Structure 1
């Protein structure tokens, strides 16, 4: 999907926010919603990264307390021609990761302890390269802004239900119930449309950054399998941020499978396998779980303090 289409989807989410405001408060409600959306976008531009990191209990690390991880991020950022992002660790058993920040100069990459414990160094490199691709594509700002607006739509829809909405032209009790259900659903569908296309693009660039598409393919298979077994409690409390992760963190519970913010993992792996064939990657060896050699040291990784 082009950036123009992505911008149109984001505009559609803002329009949805205004529509909810109109149903609750008429023309003045729509105007207020527009002002709130503009204010939220401005706030999200400067603060959403800190908000998201805080929601998931992410703690900053550096070369002293996480040397292997920090060095790996630094190596991959250099390969991607990106400034060194801030590095965070989330104390969470589910293997997962996300990137955030308003631009490459203010980016952050956050990984869970489960990711570092369950993936090889090469697979971890594939995941981090994917997140750096989001940074390079400026997806991080887009994803945090959509998370902010989607959360606001849900909040405003529920507010209208409990406080009566637009009494003159409002939708009535049945309409308000439908609004409370359908408005967040519509916002989620827009998030899904934006996230799915950005994930494919980040997979492609991330594979090129780390040097072997099958490292990322192997990581996606492991993360997807674990996400169906290991709930992510922090993500459950902040579902509007689910689309920021490399794999949907809500899939640890069955009802979350009704909707997904991410494209099919099998389709993503197939695309990476095709890319590996085009690039002459060592797909067979990586796919079977053998540790391929990395561009940073030429040897399979030794066990570090995190894995």
Structure 2
């Protein structure tokens, strides 16, 4: 696939596609994604990590922001706790393939005069209502938002400006914050970033993925745990909202050249698939049993995550 196809695969939207095409033609291009240090790195994070790997392959300089101050503002723990998690998260990202990229600790970037002045300038342009709405899908306990959570999206806009990047990667839940950045950064002489949005995947139970619910697979899980979790996962006959198929589409096929569904001859024998489209079509025709699909998912995912466990151990 060409560079444009690689960047666009497994995304929800690109804002805008024309801007992306123009950016790809540039000899130098920079992209970033920010992560709150708030616990285990799991398959939810891996969606954007895979996209950063794609972007690095097609020539982007990648920056990963370890957003310790954002985590603190969003009630994710003390500064001491998030600092400790930031270093652990960095090791996980490296183990997942994000090497030879720039890692920036949020507090190193954000606690200076130029940055803080830009935050204050942006805050004069953004209404409290828009700041609140931009945090609806990102913030914790938004029934009773704090002032710190209203600062959060404005700082994220300033991050884009101060990091000097051309594009921002995030889940679709980041869309409202990115739209604020595109609208307002130009007023202060900064470019409007290309925004690359990835989907929010289901947890293993088919519901929203959540650390508190334990319905996720961590990149640090053992091979045995990964396989057990996949075997217990929700896997309906339908394709839509199927968490096991989502893992194949967004995690396994981007990293493996193909997969094999292993089964006895009396059940049809082994089936090999070179891409996700073929697998989805076969499953949709009931040619693959859910139990066989889940077994192959666990085996493939354990293979993909094995280097991470070795790297961070």
Q: TM-score range by the shorter chain?
A: under 0.3
TM-score by length of 2: 0.22
Larger strand fraction of residues: 2
TM-score by length of 1: 0.23
